[in-house]
Amino acid sequence: MLSAPLGPGAELCPLEPWQADELAAFTDRAREHLTPWLPWAHDVKDTASARAFLQRYADRQAADTGRIYGIRLDGELVGGMIYRIFSVPQGSCELGAWLAPGAQGRGLVTRAAGAMIDWAIGARGLARVEWLVSPLNAPSIAVARRLGMTCEGTMRSVFAMGGTRHDLQVWALLADEWHKENAPHPHG
Ligand SMILES: CC(C)(COP(=O)(O)OP(=O)(O)OC[C@H]1O[C@@H](n2cnc3c(N)ncnc32)[C@H](O)[C@@H]1OP(=O)(O)O)[C@@H](O)C(=O)NCCC(=O)NCCS
């Protein structure tokens, strides 16, 4: 299982169904910050719904079709990362990410995404890593840019959330564009 240091006191680590209480509490605290961008933050409302969300990813991990991780700062759950899609047959995956407002601005997600790209391309031999983001989500677009991804276009009105339809930009990185030596380093 992937785990990685993300700098002093910070790590990317497993997040499993038994930790549903912690995810539910995190989501309650960060809900306002997450719901404009993340469909799952609308659905995770208590321990039972958090456990169902984590179980979906545990099942995907067992099937090798998706994975979820926590981001911890001094032991506290401050964010998370997903391979929302992970397809060995297609040779591609899609990453997702979130942080509590107070954990932003330190490079945690850029470094976590770097570790996940390394694993997907280096360890698993995937050819393509995607990052789907609302054109209105400037901090998330900045992550895709920092990772060296290319914006390939915009899917218009592609999904519904919170009673509105949303566009999504497709950012992607191909295996031969991933230069590990340029990847954000855990220590800055
Ligand atoms: C999207 C989101 C994860 C980005 O968080 P973030 O903190 O900006 O991203 P990172 O953890 O990569 O940190 C980058 C920031 O830390 C700074 N930073 C500090 N040290 C750094 C380092 N060593 N390496 C990289 N960046 C560093 C960067 O300059 C940048 O700050 P800036 O935007 O003010 O220039 C966050 O805004 C979020 O959770 N939003 C709500 C949920 C969401 O939108 N998820 C994505 C859906 S597509």
Cβ of 30 closer than 6 Å to ligand 1, yes or no, is no
Average pLDDT taken over every residue of the chain: 95
Cβ of 42 closer than 6 Å to ligand 1, yes or no, is no
Cβ of 104 closer than 6 Å to ligand 1, yes or no, is yes
Distance 26 CA to ligand 1 centre (A): 18
Distance 108 CA to ligand 1 centre (A): 7
Q: What's the pLDDT at 186? A: 47
pLDDT for 140 beyond 70: yes
Distance set, CA 77 to CA 15, 20, 23, 54, 130 (Å): 10, 12, 8, 14, 25
Q: Does residue 41 form part of some domain?
A: yes
Cβ of 95 closer than 6 Å to ligand 1, yes or no, is no
pLDDT for 42 beyond 70: yes
Which residue range is the domain that position 68 belongs to? 4-131
Separation CA 169–CA 90 (nearest Å): 20
Q: Does residue 119 form part of some domain?
A: yes
Residues in the chain: 188
Separation CA 11–CA 111 (nearest Å): 10
Q: Does residue 64 form part of some domain?
A: yes
Distance 161 CA to ligand 1 centre (A): 23
Whole-number percent of the chain with pLDDT over 70: 95
66-111 tens-digit pLDDT: 999 999 999 999 999 999 999 999 999 999 999 999 999 999 999 9
Q: What's the pLDDT at 7? A: 95
> To 5 degrees, how large is the angle CA 12–CA 28–CA 136?
75
Q: Does residue 8 form part of some domain?
A: yes
Cβ of 140 closer than 6 Å to ligand 1, yes or no, is yes
Distance 63 CA to ligand 1 centre (A): 30
CATH number assigned to the domain comprising residue 81:
3.40.630.30
Q: What's the pLDDT at 2? A: 77
Q: Does residue 162 form part of some domain?
A: no
Q: What's the pLDDT at 51? A: 98
Separation CA 185–CA 132 (nearest Å): 23
Q: Does residue 114 form part of some domain?
A: yes
Cβ of 49 closer than 6 Å to ligand 1, yes or no, is no
Question: What average pLDDT does the segment 36-54 reach?
Answer: 98
Total number of domains constituting the chain = 1
Q: What's the pLDDT at 43? A: 97
Question: What average pLDDT does the segment 125-142 reach?
Answer: 98
Q: Does residue 42 form part of some domain?
A: yes
Read off the pTM: 0.95
Q: Does residue 164 form part of some domain?
A: no
Question: What average pLDDT does the segment 153-174 reach?
Answer: 97
